[in-house]
Structure 1
Amino acid sequence: MFTGIVEELGTVAEVVDQGDAIRLTVAADTVLEGTVLGDSISVNGCCLTVSDLGDGRWSADLMQETLDKTSLRGVAPGDRVNLERAVTVDKRLGGHIVQGHVDGVGEIVSRSPSEHWDVVEISLPSHLGRYLVDKGSITVDGVSLTVVEARDASFTVSLIPETLARTTLGRRQVGDLVNLEADVIAKHVEKLLGAHLPAAPAALVDDEEE
Protein backbone atom coordinates (compact mmCIF):
# COMPACT_ATOMS: atom_id res chain seq x y z
CA MET A 1 0.00 0.00 0.00
CA PHE A 2 1.12 3.56 -0.76
CA THR A 3 0.05 7.11 0.08
CA GLY A 4 0.48 8.85 -3.28
CA ILE A 5 3.22 11.12 -1.89
CA VAL A 6 6.13 10.81 -4.31
CA GLU A 7 9.49 10.37 -2.57
CA GLU A 8 11.76 11.06 -5.52
CA LEU A 9 12.08 11.24 -9.27
CA GLY A 10 13.99 8.25 -10.58
CA THR A 11 15.52 7.80 -14.03
CA VAL A 12 14.92 4.81 -16.25
CA ALA A 13 18.38 3.32 -16.78
CA GLU A 14 17.56 0.29 -18.92
CA VAL A 15 14.61 -1.48 -20.53
CA VAL A 16 15.24 -5.07 -21.60
CA ASP A 17 12.65 -6.61 -23.93
CA GLN A 18 11.88 -10.20 -22.91
CA GLY A 19 9.20 -10.89 -25.53
CA ASP A 20 6.08 -11.02 -23.38
CA ALA A 21 7.67 -9.00 -20.58
CA ILE A 22 10.31 -6.37 -19.90
CA ARG A 23 12.91 -5.93 -17.20
CA LEU A 24 12.90 -2.33 -16.05
CA THR A 25 15.95 -0.89 -14.29
CA VAL A 26 15.65 2.45 -12.51
CA ALA A 27 18.39 4.64 -11.08
CA ALA A 28 17.36 6.03 -7.70
CA ASP A 29 18.61 7.11 -4.30
CA THR A 30 15.99 7.71 -1.61
CA VAL A 31 13.78 4.70 -2.35
CA LEU A 32 16.76 2.35 -2.07
CA GLU A 33 17.25 3.19 1.61
CA GLY A 34 16.21 0.13 3.59
CA THR A 35 14.91 -1.64 0.48
CA VAL A 36 15.52 -5.38 0.04
CA LEU A 37 14.65 -7.92 -2.65
CA GLY A 38 10.91 -8.56 -2.78
CA ASP A 39 9.92 -5.11 -1.52
CA SER A 40 7.35 -3.04 -3.40
CA ILE A 41 8.03 0.30 -5.08
CA SER A 42 5.44 2.36 -6.93
CA VAL A 43 6.60 3.53 -10.37
CA ASN A 44 4.25 6.12 -11.86
CA GLY A 45 1.51 4.62 -9.70
CA CYS A 46 2.17 0.99 -10.61
CA CYS A 47 3.24 -1.34 -7.78
CA LEU A 48 6.36 -3.27 -8.83
CA THR A 49 8.40 -5.90 -6.97
CA VAL A 50 12.13 -5.37 -6.56
CA SER A 51 13.89 -8.32 -8.24
CA ASP A 52 17.44 -6.95 -8.24
CA LEU A 53 19.25 -3.97 -6.73
CA GLY A 54 22.69 -2.50 -6.25
CA ASP A 55 24.97 0.38 -7.32
CA GLY A 56 22.21 2.97 -7.11
CA ARG A 57 19.81 0.98 -9.27
CA TRP A 58 16.99 -1.48 -8.86
CA SER A 59 15.12 -3.70 -11.30
CA ALA A 60 11.63 -5.15 -11.67
CA ASP A 61 10.01 -7.53 -14.13
CA LEU A 62 6.85 -6.26 -15.84
CA MET A 63 4.52 -8.93 -17.22
CA GLN A 64 2.33 -8.50 -20.30
CA GLU A 65 -0.71 -7.64 -18.15
CA THR A 66 1.14 -4.64 -16.72
CA LEU A 67 2.31 -3.54 -20.16
CA ASP A 68 -1.23 -3.83 -21.55
CA LYS A 69 -2.94 -1.91 -18.74
CA THR A 70 -0.46 0.88 -17.89
CA SER A 71 1.58 3.61 -19.54
CA LEU A 72 4.79 1.82 -18.52
CA ARG A 73 4.67 0.03 -21.87
CA GLY A 74 6.13 3.19 -23.38
CA VAL A 75 9.00 3.89 -20.97
CA ALA A 76 12.49 4.36 -22.39
CA PRO A 77 15.97 4.97 -20.95
CA GLY A 78 16.30 8.53 -19.69
CA ASP A 79 12.62 8.91 -18.78
CA ARG A 80 11.90 10.32 -15.32
CA VAL A 81 9.47 8.35 -13.16
CA ASN A 82 7.67 8.97 -9.86
CA LEU A 83 8.86 6.63 -7.09
CA GLU A 84 7.41 5.77 -3.69
CA ARG A 85 8.21 2.95 -1.29
CA ALA A 86 5.37 1.00 0.31
CA VAL A 87 4.03 2.77 3.40
CA THR A 88 4.98 1.54 6.88
CA VAL A 89 2.63 1.48 9.87
CA ASP A 90 4.52 4.31 11.59
CA LYS A 91 4.31 6.69 8.62
CA ARG A 92 1.86 9.59 8.29
CA LEU A 93 -0.77 9.02 5.60
CA GLY A 94 -0.14 12.30 3.82
CA GLY A 95 -2.19 11.49 0.71
CA HIS A 96 -4.85 8.77 0.60
CA ILE A 97 -4.91 4.98 0.47
CA VAL A 98 -3.24 3.94 -2.80
CA GLN A 99 -2.84 0.30 -3.83
CA GLY A 100 -0.57 0.76 -6.80
CA HIS A 101 -3.07 -1.14 -8.95
CA VAL A 102 -3.70 0.91 -12.08
CA ASP A 103 -7.39 1.09 -13.06
CA GLY A 104 -6.88 2.73 -16.44
CA VAL A 105 -4.84 5.10 -18.56
CA GLY A 106 -5.84 8.72 -19.15
CA GLU A 107 -4.50 11.39 -21.48
CA ILE A 108 -3.54 14.98 -20.71
CA VAL A 109 -6.22 17.01 -22.49
CA SER A 110 -5.14 20.53 -21.54
CA ARG A 111 -2.91 22.57 -19.24
CA SER A 112 -3.75 26.05 -18.01
CA PRO A 113 -0.72 27.58 -16.27
CA SER A 114 -1.12 30.42 -13.80
CA GLU A 115 1.31 32.28 -11.58
CA HIS A 116 1.17 29.79 -8.73
CA TRP A 117 -0.38 26.56 -10.06
CA ASP A 118 -1.41 24.66 -13.19
CA VAL A 119 -4.92 23.41 -13.85
CA VAL A 120 -4.70 20.16 -15.80
CA GLU A 121 -7.55 18.32 -17.52
CA ILE A 122 -7.18 14.56 -17.95
CA SER A 123 -9.40 12.23 -19.97
CA LEU A 124 -11.15 9.51 -18.00
CA PRO A 125 -11.97 5.94 -19.09
CA SER A 126 -15.76 5.54 -18.95
CA HIS A 127 -15.70 2.79 -16.31
CA LEU A 128 -13.97 5.08 -13.79
CA GLY A 129 -16.34 8.04 -13.97
CA ARG A 130 -18.64 6.75 -11.23
CA TYR A 131 -15.79 6.78 -8.68
CA LEU A 132 -14.93 10.46 -9.06
CA VAL A 133 -16.58 13.35 -7.24
CA ASP A 134 -15.60 16.99 -6.86
CA LYS A 135 -13.02 17.30 -4.06
CA GLY A 136 -12.56 13.52 -4.01
CA SER A 137 -9.23 11.73 -4.40
CA ILE A 138 -7.56 10.18 -7.43
CA THR A 139 -4.05 8.94 -8.13
CA VAL A 140 -2.35 10.19 -11.31
CA ASP A 141 0.98 8.55 -12.13
CA GLY A 142 1.29 7.65 -8.46
CA VAL A 143 0.53 11.16 -7.20
CA SER A 144 -2.35 11.63 -4.76
CA LEU A 145 -4.47 14.51 -6.05
CA THR A 146 -7.78 16.18 -5.26
CA VAL A 147 -10.34 16.33 -8.06
CA VAL A 148 -11.33 19.91 -8.80
CA GLU A 149 -14.12 19.08 -11.23
CA ALA A 150 -15.42 15.63 -12.18
CA ARG A 151 -16.79 15.77 -15.73
CA ASP A 152 -18.48 13.19 -17.95
CA ALA A 153 -15.35 12.04 -19.77
CA SER A 154 -12.58 13.87 -17.95
CA PHE A 155 -11.60 15.58 -14.70
CA THR A 156 -9.44 18.49 -13.64
CA VAL A 157 -6.80 18.86 -10.93
CA SER A 158 -4.77 21.82 -9.67
CA LEU A 159 -1.04 21.21 -9.39
CA ILE A 160 0.73 23.26 -6.73
CA PRO A 161 4.40 24.30 -7.12
CA GLU A 162 5.58 21.40 -4.91
CA THR A 163 3.87 18.87 -7.18
CA LEU A 164 5.13 20.57 -10.33
CA ALA A 165 8.71 20.53 -9.05
CA ARG A 166 8.90 17.10 -7.43
CA THR A 167 6.91 14.87 -9.79
CA THR A 168 6.67 14.06 -13.48
CA LEU A 169 3.35 15.94 -13.63
CA GLY A 170 5.34 19.14 -13.93
CA ARG A 171 6.68 17.86 -17.26
CA ARG A 172 3.65 16.14 -18.73
CA GLN A 173 2.33 17.74 -21.90
CA VAL A 174 -0.96 17.56 -23.82
CA GLY A 175 -1.25 14.11 -25.37
CA ASP A 176 0.90 12.35 -22.76
CA LEU A 177 -0.55 9.22 -21.13
CA VAL A 178 -0.86 8.85 -17.36
CA ASN A 179 -1.78 5.98 -15.05
CA LEU A 180 -4.99 6.40 -13.05
CA GLU A 181 -6.14 4.70 -9.86
CA ALA A 182 -9.55 5.49 -8.41
CA ASP A 183 -10.17 5.71 -4.68
CA VAL A 184 -10.36 2.11 -3.41
CA ILE A 185 -12.86 3.12 -0.71
CA ALA A 186 -15.32 4.25 -3.40
CA LYS A 187 -14.97 0.88 -5.12
CA HIS A 188 -15.60 -1.05 -1.92
CA VAL A 189 -18.65 1.08 -1.08
CA GLU A 190 -20.07 0.44 -4.54
CA LYS A 191 -19.70 -3.33 -4.15
CA LEU A 192 -21.15 -3.41 -0.65
CA LEU A 193 -24.17 -1.30 -1.60
CA GLY A 194 -24.70 -3.16 -4.86
CA ALA A 195 -26.11 -6.20 -3.05
CA HIS A 196 -28.80 -4.01 -1.43
CA LEU A 197 -29.83 -1.86 -4.39
CA PRO A 198 -32.72 -2.87 -6.66
CA ALA A 199 -31.70 -4.19 -10.07
CA ALA A 200 -32.51 -2.06 -13.12
CA PRO A 201 -35.73 -3.11 -14.91
CA ALA A 202 -35.07 -5.58 -17.70
CA ALA A 203 -36.65 -3.29 -20.32
CA LEU A 204 -34.36 -0.42 -19.30
CA VAL A 205 -31.30 -2.66 -19.49
CA ASP A 206 -32.35 -3.85 -22.97
CA ASP A 207 -32.86 -0.24 -24.14
CA GLU A 208 -29.42 0.79 -22.87
CA GLU A 209 -27.74 -2.15 -24.63
CA GLU A 210 -29.41 -1.23 -27.91
Structure 2
Amino acid sequence: MFTGIIEEVGEVAAIEHRGDSAVLTVKAQRIVDDLVHGASIAVSGVCLTIVGWQPGELTAIEFDVMGETLKRSVIGALSVGDRVNLERAVRADARLDGHVVQGHVDGTGVVVSRTPGDAWESVRFGLPVELARFVAEKGSIAVDGVSLTVAAVGPDWFEVGLIPETLRATTLGARAAGDPVNLEVDVLAKYVGRLLEATR
Protein backbone atom coordinates (compact mmCIF):
# COMPACT_ATOMS: atom_id res chain seq x y z
CA MET A 1 0.00 0.00 0.00
CA PHE A 2 1.09 3.54 -0.76
CA THR A 3 -0.04 7.07 0.13
CA GLY A 4 0.53 8.99 -3.10
CA ILE A 5 3.14 11.21 -1.46
CA ILE A 6 6.09 11.04 -3.86
CA GLU A 7 9.51 10.57 -2.26
CA GLU A 8 11.72 11.05 -5.29
CA VAL A 9 11.68 11.54 -9.04
CA GLY A 10 13.85 8.86 -10.64
CA GLU A 11 15.04 8.29 -14.18
CA VAL A 12 14.50 5.34 -16.49
CA ALA A 13 17.90 3.73 -17.17
CA ALA A 14 16.62 0.87 -19.35
CA ILE A 15 13.50 -0.98 -20.41
CA GLU A 16 14.00 -4.38 -21.98
CA HIS A 17 10.91 -5.88 -23.60
CA ARG A 18 10.71 -9.67 -23.42
CA GLY A 19 7.68 -10.84 -25.37
CA ASP A 20 4.63 -9.78 -23.36
CA SER A 21 6.70 -8.67 -20.35
CA ALA A 22 9.61 -6.36 -19.65
CA VAL A 23 12.41 -5.56 -17.22
CA LEU A 24 12.44 -1.90 -16.16
CA THR A 25 15.54 -0.32 -14.62
CA VAL A 26 15.17 2.99 -12.77
CA LYS A 27 17.96 5.12 -11.28
CA ALA A 28 17.27 6.60 -7.85
CA GLN A 29 19.18 8.15 -4.96
CA ARG A 30 16.97 8.91 -1.96
CA ILE A 31 14.77 5.80 -1.69
CA VAL A 32 17.60 3.27 -1.84
CA ASP A 33 18.73 3.09 1.80
CA ASP A 34 16.48 0.13 2.68
CA LEU A 35 16.06 -1.79 -0.59
CA VAL A 36 14.96 -5.39 -0.12
CA HIS A 37 14.59 -8.04 -2.80
CA GLY A 38 10.84 -8.56 -3.34
CA ALA A 39 9.81 -5.23 -1.80
CA SER A 40 7.31 -2.97 -3.56
CA ILE A 41 7.92 0.47 -5.01
CA ALA A 42 5.31 2.54 -6.84
CA VAL A 43 6.77 3.72 -10.14
CA SER A 44 4.55 6.53 -11.44
CA GLY A 45 1.71 4.90 -9.55
CA VAL A 46 2.37 1.30 -10.60
CA CYS A 47 3.23 -1.13 -7.79
CA LEU A 48 6.34 -3.00 -8.97
CA THR A 49 8.47 -5.62 -7.22
CA ILE A 50 12.22 -5.13 -6.80
CA VAL A 51 14.11 -8.02 -8.42
CA GLY A 52 17.61 -6.57 -8.15
CA TRP A 53 19.74 -3.44 -7.96
CA GLN A 54 23.21 -2.16 -8.75
CA PRO A 55 24.72 0.35 -6.29
CA GLY A 56 26.48 3.43 -7.58
CA GLU A 57 26.26 7.21 -7.41
CA LEU A 58 22.68 6.54 -8.49
CA THR A 59 21.38 3.07 -7.68
CA ALA A 60 19.87 1.19 -10.63
CA ILE A 61 16.78 -0.69 -9.40
CA GLU A 62 15.36 -3.49 -11.54
CA PHE A 63 11.69 -4.49 -11.75
CA ASP A 64 9.87 -7.24 -13.63
CA VAL A 65 6.81 -5.88 -15.46
CA MET A 66 4.11 -8.29 -16.63
CA GLY A 67 1.87 -7.99 -19.67
CA GLU A 68 -1.20 -6.80 -17.73
CA THR A 69 0.80 -3.88 -16.35
CA LEU A 70 2.15 -2.98 -19.79
CA LYS A 71 -1.39 -3.05 -21.18
CA ARG A 72 -3.08 -0.98 -18.43
CA SER A 73 -0.41 1.63 -17.71
CA VAL A 74 2.05 3.89 -19.50
CA ILE A 75 5.03 1.86 -18.22
CA GLY A 76 5.46 0.08 -21.57
CA ALA A 77 5.81 3.40 -23.40
CA LEU A 78 8.63 4.66 -21.18
CA SER A 79 12.01 5.43 -22.76
CA VAL A 80 15.51 5.80 -21.37
CA GLY A 81 15.80 9.21 -19.71
CA ASP A 82 12.10 9.54 -18.85
CA ARG A 83 11.41 10.76 -15.33
CA VAL A 84 9.16 8.72 -13.03
CA ASN A 85 7.61 9.32 -9.61
CA LEU A 86 8.86 6.93 -6.90
CA GLU A 87 7.34 5.98 -3.56
CA ARG A 88 8.21 3.13 -1.22
CA ALA A 89 5.40 1.12 0.37
CA VAL A 90 3.97 2.81 3.46
CA ARG A 91 5.13 1.52 6.85
CA ALA A 92 2.50 0.46 9.37
CA ASP A 93 3.82 3.01 11.88
CA ALA A 94 3.83 5.94 9.43
CA ARG A 95 1.36 8.76 8.87
CA LEU A 96 -1.04 8.31 5.95
CA ASP A 97 -0.59 11.80 4.50
CA GLY A 98 -2.22 11.24 1.10
CA HIS A 99 -4.91 8.58 0.62
CA VAL A 100 -4.93 4.79 0.29
CA VAL A 101 -3.16 4.07 -3.01
CA GLN A 102 -2.73 0.43 -4.00
CA GLY A 103 -0.47 0.90 -6.99
CA HIS A 104 -3.03 -1.01 -9.08
CA VAL A 105 -3.51 1.26 -12.07
CA ASP A 106 -7.08 1.24 -13.41
CA GLY A 107 -6.24 2.78 -16.76
CA THR A 108 -4.62 5.70 -18.46
CA GLY A 109 -5.74 9.25 -19.05
CA VAL A 110 -4.29 12.24 -20.84
CA VAL A 111 -3.44 15.83 -19.93
CA VAL A 112 -6.10 17.99 -21.62
CA SER A 113 -5.10 21.47 -20.48
CA ARG A 114 -3.14 23.49 -17.93
CA THR A 115 -4.27 26.82 -16.51
CA PRO A 116 -1.70 28.71 -14.40
CA GLY A 117 -2.81 30.56 -11.26
CA ASP A 118 -0.84 33.00 -9.12
CA ALA A 119 0.94 30.30 -7.11
CA TRP A 120 -0.63 27.09 -8.37
CA GLU A 121 -1.91 25.47 -11.54
CA SER A 122 -5.23 23.91 -12.55
CA VAL A 123 -4.81 20.81 -14.71
CA ARG A 124 -7.59 19.01 -16.59
CA PHE A 125 -7.21 15.31 -17.40
CA GLY A 126 -9.30 13.23 -19.76
CA LEU A 127 -10.19 9.75 -18.57
CA PRO A 128 -12.02 6.69 -19.90
CA VAL A 129 -15.80 6.91 -19.42
CA GLU A 130 -15.81 3.61 -17.52
CA LEU A 131 -13.60 5.19 -14.83
CA ALA A 132 -15.43 8.53 -14.68
CA ARG A 133 -18.19 7.15 -12.42
CA PHE A 134 -15.58 6.52 -9.70
CA VAL A 135 -14.32 10.12 -9.67
CA ALA A 136 -16.12 12.62 -7.44
CA GLU A 137 -15.59 16.29 -6.67
CA LYS A 138 -13.47 16.61 -3.50
CA GLY A 139 -12.66 12.89 -3.75
CA SER A 140 -9.20 11.41 -4.15
CA ILE A 141 -7.43 10.12 -7.26
CA ALA A 142 -3.85 9.07 -7.98
CA VAL A 143 -2.30 10.47 -11.18
CA ASP A 144 1.08 8.91 -11.97
CA GLY A 145 1.05 7.83 -8.33
CA VAL A 146 0.47 11.33 -6.92
CA SER A 147 -2.39 11.64 -4.42
CA LEU A 148 -4.62 14.49 -5.58
CA THR A 149 -7.96 16.01 -4.62
CA VAL A 150 -10.49 16.35 -7.44
CA ALA A 151 -11.61 19.97 -7.88
CA ALA A 152 -14.15 19.48 -10.69
CA VAL A 153 -15.57 16.63 -12.78
CA GLY A 154 -17.22 16.18 -16.16
CA PRO A 155 -18.48 13.19 -18.15
CA ASP A 156 -14.99 12.21 -19.32
CA TRP A 157 -12.64 14.59 -17.49
CA PHE A 158 -11.61 15.84 -14.05
CA GLU A 159 -9.56 18.78 -12.80
CA VAL A 160 -7.08 19.11 -9.96
CA GLY A 161 -5.15 22.02 -8.50
CA LEU A 162 -1.39 21.54 -8.22
CA ILE A 163 0.46 23.47 -5.53
CA PRO A 164 4.06 24.61 -6.13
CA GLU A 165 5.45 21.68 -4.12
CA THR A 166 3.63 19.14 -6.31
CA LEU A 167 4.78 20.94 -9.45
CA ARG A 168 8.38 20.88 -8.18
CA ALA A 169 8.60 17.45 -6.52
CA THR A 170 6.76 15.26 -9.06
CA THR A 171 6.67 14.67 -12.80
CA LEU A 172 3.30 16.43 -13.02
CA GLY A 173 5.05 19.80 -13.24
CA ALA A 174 6.45 18.84 -16.65
CA ARG A 175 3.44 17.05 -18.14
CA ALA A 176 2.08 18.84 -21.21
CA ALA A 177 -1.25 18.66 -23.02
CA GLY A 178 -1.46 15.32 -24.80
CA ASP A 179 0.84 13.47 -22.39
CA PRO A 180 -0.51 10.14 -21.09
CA VAL A 181 -0.74 9.46 -17.35
CA ASN A 182 -1.53 6.50 -15.12
CA LEU A 183 -4.81 6.71 -13.19
CA GLU A 184 -5.90 4.90 -10.05
CA VAL A 185 -9.36 5.79 -8.79
CA ASP A 186 -10.24 5.59 -5.12
CA VAL A 187 -10.43 1.97 -3.97
CA LEU A 188 -13.48 2.66 -1.77
CA ALA A 189 -15.39 3.98 -4.79
CA LYS A 190 -14.52 0.81 -6.71
CA TYR A 191 -15.83 -1.43 -3.93
CA VAL A 192 -19.04 0.57 -3.59
CA GLY A 193 -19.54 0.35 -7.36
CA ARG A 194 -18.99 -3.41 -7.29
CA LEU A 195 -21.45 -3.87 -4.42
CA LEU A 196 -24.10 -1.84 -6.24
CA GLU A 197 -23.63 -3.99 -9.36
CA ALA A 198 -24.03 -7.16 -7.29
CA THR A 199 -27.37 -6.00 -5.84
CA ARG A 200 -28.99 -5.28 -9.22
Structure 2 length normalisation: TM-score? 0.95
Q: Secondary structure at the match of 2:75?
A: helix
Tell me by how many angstroms 1:114 deviates.
1.9
2:111 to 103, 108, 131: 108
Match of 2:19 in 1: 19
Match of 2:7 in 1: 7
1:143 aligns with 2:149: no
1:57 aligns with 2:25: no
1:35-87 deviation line (CA, Å, top 9, x unaligned): 21000000010000000112111100111211111011111111110000000
Residue type of the alignment partner of 2:39: D
Tell me by how many angstroms 1:15 deviates.
1.4
Q: Secondary structure at the match of 1:31?
A: coil
Task: Note the residue ranges of structure 2 that are not aligned, 5 or more in a row.
Answer: none
Residue type of the alignment partner of 1:157: V
Percent identity, please.
52
1:10-52 deviation line (CA, Å, top 9, x unaligned): 0111111222221110110122121210000000100000001
Distance 2:181 2:60 in 1: 24
Match of 1:205 in 2: none
Q: Secondary structure at the match of 1:50?
A: strand
Distance 2:54 2:169 in 1: 24
Tell me by how many angstroms 1:113 deviates.
1.2
Higher share in helix:
1
Residue type of the alignment partner of 2:21: A
Distance 1:17 1:98 in 2: 27
Distance 1:70 1:190 in 2: 22
Task: Note the residue ranges of structure 1 that are not aligned, 5 or more in a row.
Answer: 200-210
Tell me by how many angstroms 1:150 deviates.
1.2
Residue type of the alignment partner of 1:23: V
1:182 aligns with 2:185: yes
Moved more, 19-28 or 133-142: 19-28
Q: Secondary structure at the match of 1:105?
A: strand
Distance 1:111 1:147 in 2: 15
Distance 1:71 1:141 in 2: 9
The count of corresponding residues between Structure 1 and Structure 2 is 197
Distance 1:193 1:127 in 2: 15
Q: CA RMSD in A?
A: 1.0
Residue type of the alignment partner of 1:71: V
2:176 to 158, 173, 178: 173
Tell me by how many angstroms 1:160 deviates.
0.3
Tell me by how many angstroms 1:144 deviates.
0.2
Moved more, 30-39 or 174-183: 30-39
State the structure with more CA Rg. 1
**CA 1:18–1:158 in 2, change beyond 3 Å: closer, same or farther?**
same
1:128 aligns with 2:131: yes
